[in-house]
Amino acid sequence: MNEQEREIDLMEILALLKRHIYLFIAIILIVMTFTVAQIYRMVKIYSSTATIEIEPKAANVLGGNMEVIQSGTQGNVFANKDYYATQYEIIQSRAVAQKVLEMVPGENVLEYLGFDLEKIEPDKIKDIDPIAVLLTKITVSPQKNSNIVRISVEDKDPEKAAFLANAVASSYIEFNLEKKYFETKDAARWLMDQSVSLKQNLENSEMMLFEFKQSNNVLATTFEAKQELLSNRIIKLTNTLTDQEIRRNALTAKIEEYAHLNIDNPEDGFFKEISKENPIIGNLKLKYLEVVSKINESEQVYGEKHPKVVTLLADKENIEKTFKSEIEGVVSSYNLELKMLDNEMKKNRKMLSDSQTEAINLNKLDINYSKLRREVETNKKLYDIVLERSKEADLSALLKNNNIRMIDRALVSKIPVKPRKQIILLAGFAIALVLASLAVFLVEFFDTKFKSFKELETISGKSLLGIIPKFQQIETSQFKEIAFEDKSGKNLAVEAFRSLRTNIKLSNPDSRLKVMLVTSSVPHEGKTIVSSNLAASYSVAGKKVLLIDADMRKPRVHKVFGLKNEKGLSTLIVGEHSMDDVVNRNVYEGLDVVTAGIIPPNPAELLESSRFADILKDFSEIYDVVIIDTPPLSPVSDAATIAPMTDGLILAVNISETPRDVFKSVIANISKPGITRLGVVVNNIDFKQEKKFKSYYGYSYYHSSYYKSNYYYYTSSEDGQTKKKKKHS
């Protein structure tokens, strides 16, 4: 919202208050008078306050680890918060209030609390709850970030207020002591009962542990030693089996290697890895290679049959036999070793399985043993704790140690706290303003009249074409209702109609407006005066103008110009007369007028006829401007029927009389395709009486004196901007 809009809104609110200023002031005066009267009728109330301190827990006078037993959980911040909230509720409880009433002097508590028993029926006295009455007087006010609490009591008697405040504080302190005493005694009794039960549980658990040891023939230290021994044995057996498995895999690999060896061919064995592992085979390999070498040399020198060659061949055969025998012996030894190793691994696996089973059984036994031992230890601890707390409870019950103490006693106040005159007056004034504003807005809401030109523009959706001020008829003139008859130059209505003529042209600069229709929402809004003066404005400006009275129900144009109405538009449409017969020429400075003629029984049918459309077309070709005066839109539909045949519709409005809802209905009725709405003309407005319409976007019709006022109108430029022009001063 820009500054101009905010200024307009503020002005509208001020104007609204100004219109209903008497109602606004009257409601404020009535409410304030009632408020002042109520203040003087109110009873004076006095308040007294006692101050106490509430610690989370009492001082530990027993020393050591002994504590006074208290209910609740005091310790951390959140627990303390709940504890203090509980204490505030206890202060305002019926139990504390009952103790206070026991301290009240006199025989009748109700009389002390301010009841006049003589004015109360005996049957109703028993229905009065003195505790509830007392609680309404008590106020508890904890002080922020401290342990201080203020207890206030209000009463008509300042001495009673002080007495009751001190009585509430004392009763709460006593109640807290009694509460702790009974809680401690109850706790001691409960602890004693629990200690007997726990002692029996301890004895039972010890007996069960003993019987378990006896039945399993074990000591407490045996389990750990056995577990460690079994653990070491399992680890050692696991490692041994792993080593044996590795050895077995190696033997199996060697046996498989010898199985693939061709023992009939020593060279096959000599040139494999086995010759490196077995020194005997290695020596045979060397001898074999030496003999083969000698055989090859001897055969070349001596030949194959030479005795030396034969001897060498015999040596070679012996080496081969020895090789074969050695290989068989090695394989046999490997198989024997593998068999022995399998027997050892079998025994070790059996030992490992037995050890694991023994370890599992021992763990199960240890679990049961540990369970029984923990039960004995738990029962012993519980028994010791309960026994110790039982002794502490017996001792703390003898103490009168309190965590609540009085800080300041309540004093008799001489200054009343109620009624708070300033606050009540301010509240009354605020209520008065609200009620007065509400009344103004309600009155305004149910008022169906327009409140501003802006409201009219908002509903119509168009800017105002003109604002026609109320003007005095010139009795000496021939045409009393034509503003242009006033030649003094001081008649603002003349300038208003000239501005209307200009604004009509500027409202649709791209269209040629020749045939225009003037109508209104309801009767008596001055649409005939507007159409007649608008036609006169065009004729004065040198235009060839025709004014047609199409209101064939209640015609008035002939009265404005002093014409006869024996023939006119109705007779022209039915064909009884021609155009020349019905046109009254040069009625006012070149203005031609066609009256309504004889009132027909069917005016709507005549206006809807094609004959009427042809007549309008013929007139528009003859005249520069044709203005049609039609019936109001609300009671009949004649204007809406004619509107599509024209170049534009002008709606005359008496803003001080036209209801908003009727105007909205009319706007909706003419906001249809084929109907061009040029805008709205505000007619017959008296700015002296209707001061709420005195100023409008620069219009100023009344200032100091009627004739010294400034008059402005607005025009629209080609770029759509609105400009203000001064017409008369």
- The model's pLDDT over 199-210, given as tens digits with 9 standing for 90+, comes to 788 778 878 877
Tell me which residue range forms the domain holding 676. Answer: 453-728
Verify cis geometry, omega within 30 degrees of 0, for the bond prior to 416: no
Q: What are phi and psi of 374, to 5 degrees?
A: -65, -35
> Token pair for residue 65?
């680890």
Query: Which one of 414, 447, 480 terminates a domain?
Result: 447
The 10s digit of each residue's pLDDT in 425-479 is: 899 899 999 998 898 888 777 766 776 778 788 888 888 888 888 877 776 678 8
* Per-residue pLDDT at 217: 65
Confirm if 148 and 44 have CB atoms less than 8 A apart.
Answer: no
* Per-residue pLDDT at 96: 92
Pair (576, 464) in one structural domain: yes
Q: Is the pLDDT of residue 641 over 80?
A: yes
Which residue is associated with the tokens 């738990």? 378
Pair (369, 502) in one structural domain: no
Give the integer Cα–Cα distance in Å for 711 and 693. Answer: 14
* Per-residue pLDDT at 710: 38
Q: Is the pLDDT of residue 708 over 60?
A: no
Query: Which one of 387, 417, 447 terminates a domain?
Result: 447
Confirm if 515 and 628 have CB atoms less than 8 A apart.
Answer: yes
Pair (443, 485) in one structural domain: no
Contacts of 631 (CB under 8 A, 6+ apart): 519, 550, 551, 552, 553, 554, 638, 639
The 10s digit of each residue's pLDDT in 115-168 is: 877 778 888 888 888 889 889 989 999 999 889 999 999 988 899 899 999 999
Q: Is the pLDDT of residue 67 over 80?
A: no
The 10s digit of each residue's pLDDT in 321-370 is: 777 777 777 778 878 888 898 898 888 888 888 888 877 877 777 777 77
Q: Is the pLDDT of residue 320 over 80?
A: no
* Per-residue pLDDT at 261: 66
> Token pair for residue 362?
């021992």
Tell me which residue of 11, 39, 167 sits closest to 425, measured CA to CA.
39
SS3 of 74, please? Answer: coil
Pair (438, 460) in one structural domain: no
Pair (490, 620) in one structural domain: yes
Pair (373, 392) in one structural domain: yes
Amino acid, res. 440: V
Q: Is the pLDDT of residue 723 over 60?
A: no
Pair (389, 476) in one structural domain: no
Task: List Cα–Cα distances, 258 to 265, 272, 316, 320, in angstroms.
Answer: 13, 10, 22, 16
Q: E strand or H helix at 107, and its extent?
A: none
* Per-residue pLDDT at 61: 45
> Token pair for residue 652?
């005359």
Q: Provide the percentage of residues in the chain whose pLDDT is more than 70.
A: 81
Confirm if 358 and 230 have CB atoms less than 8 A apart.
Answer: yes
Q: Is the pLDDT of residue 400 over 70?
A: no
> Token pair for residue 240?
């041994």
Give the integer Cα–Cα distance in Å for 515 and 496. Answer: 21
Residue with the bigger pLDDT between 523 and 449: it is: 523
Across the chain, what does the average pLDDT equal?
79
* Per-residue pLDDT at 623: 94
Tell me which residue of 226, 68, 57, 45 sits closest to 147, measured CA to CA.
57
**pLDDT tier at 571, thresholds 50, 70, 90:** very high
Say if 481 falls within a structural domain.
yes
Give the integer Cα–Cα distance in Å for 544 and 458. Answer: 35
**CA atoms lying within 13 Å on the CB side of residue 27:** 16
List residues bridging with 728 in a β-sheet. 711
Residue with the bigger pLDDT between 264 and 90: it is: 90
Pair (299, 335) in one structural domain: yes
Give the integer Cα–Cα distance in Å for 290 and 347. Answer: 49
Pair (340, 484) in one structural domain: no
Over residues 582-596, mean pLDDT: 92
Q: Is the pLDDT of residue 55 over 60?
A: yes
Give the integer Cα–Cα distance in Å for 423 and 419. Answer: 9
SS3 of 60, please? Answer: coil
Say if 73 falls within a structural domain.
no
Give the integer Cα–Cα distance in Å for 715 and 727. Answer: 12
Give the integer Cα–Cα distance in Å for 416 and 600. Answer: 86
- Convert 242-304 into a string of H (helix), E (strand) and C (coil): HHHHHHHHHHHHHHHHHHCCCCCCHHHHHCCCHHHHCHHHHHHHHHHHHHHHHHHHHHHHCCC
Task: List Cα–Cα distances, 241 to 81, 248, 347, 356, 650, in angstroms.
Answer: 69, 10, 10, 15, 117
Pair (543, 442) in one structural domain: no
Say if 516 falls within a structural domain.
yes
* Per-residue pLDDT at 391: 67
- Single pTM value for the model: 0.45
**pLDDT tier at 1, thresholds 50, 70, 90:** very low
Over residues 715-719, mean pLDDT: 39
**pLDDT tier at 687, thresholds 50, 70, 90:** low
Pair (556, 681) in one structural domain: yes
- Convert 415-454 into a string of H (helix), E (strand) and C (coil): CCCECCHHHHHHHHHHHHHHHHHHHHHHHHHHCCCCCCHH
Confirm if 677 and 462 have CB atoms less than 8 A apart.
Answer: yes
* Per-residue pLDDT at 262: 65
261-265, 452-456, 645-649: segment of lowest average pLDDT: 261-265
Confirm if 150 and 31 have CB atoms less than 8 A apart.
Answer: no
SS3 of 579, please? Answer: helix
* Per-residue pLDDT at 188: 66
Task: List Cα–Cα distances, 347 to 156, 213, 317, 336, in angstroms.
Answer: 106, 33, 46, 17
Q: How far apart are the first and last CA of the chain?
A: 33
Give the integer Cα–Cα distance in Å for 137 and 45. Answer: 10
Q: Is the pLDDT of residue 179 over 70?
A: yes
Give the integer Cα–Cα distance in Å for 31 and 432. Answer: 6
**pLDDT tier at 394, thresholds 50, 70, 90:** low
* Per-residue pLDDT at 69: 47
Give the integer Cα–Cα distance in Å for 278 and 321. Answer: 16
Task: List Cα–Cα distances, 295 to 290, 316, 624, 654, in angstroms.
Answer: 9, 9, 152, 153
Longest pairwise C-alpha distance within the chain: 186
Contacts of 37 (CB under 8 A, 6+ apart): none
Confirm if 302 and 308 have CB atoms less than 8 A apart.
Answer: yes
Q: Is the pLDDT of residue 177 over 90?
A: no
Over residues 218-235, mean pLDDT: 73
Instruction: Categorise residue 232: left if φ over 0, alpha if ψ from -120 to 50, beta otherwise.
Output: alpha
Say if 242 falls within a structural domain.
yes
SS3 of 699, please? Answer: strand
> Token pair for residue 248?
């077995």
* Per-residue pLDDT at 464: 86
Pair (388, 509) in one structural domain: no
Over residues 413-421, mean pLDDT: 84
Give the integer Cα–Cα distance in Å for 318 and 322. Answer: 6
* Per-residue pLDDT at 714: 38
Which CATH number covers residue 501?
3.40.50.300
Say if 199 falls within a structural domain.
no
Q: Is the pLDDT of residue 386 over 80?
A: no
Q: Is the pLDDT of residue 60 over 80?
A: no
How many structural domains is the chain composed of?
A: 3
DSSP 217: T
Over residues 268-275, mean pLDDT: 54
Query: Which one of 382, 414, 447 terminates a domain?
Result: 447
* Per-residue pLDDT at 62: 46
> Token pair for residue 73?
């959980």
Give the integer Cα–Cα distance in Å for 645 and 676. Answer: 10
Q: Is the pLDDT of residue 319 over 70?
A: yes
Describe the chain by its helix, strand, coil percentages, rounded to 5: 60, 15, 30
Contacts of 536 (CB under 8 A, 6+ apart): 482, 483, 484, 497, 588, 589, 591
Instruction: Categorise residue 597: left if φ over 0, alpha if ψ from -120 to 50, beta otherwise.
Output: left
Q: Is the pLDDT of residue 620 over 50?
A: yes
Tell me which residue of 173, 154, 225 sits closest to 51, measured CA to CA.
173
Q: Is the pLDDT of residue 489 over 50?
A: yes
> Token pair for residue 458?
């908002």
Q: E strand or H helix at 231, and its extent?
A: helix 222-259
Over residues 219-238, mean pLDDT: 76
Contacts of 543 (CB under 8 A, 6+ apart): 624, 625
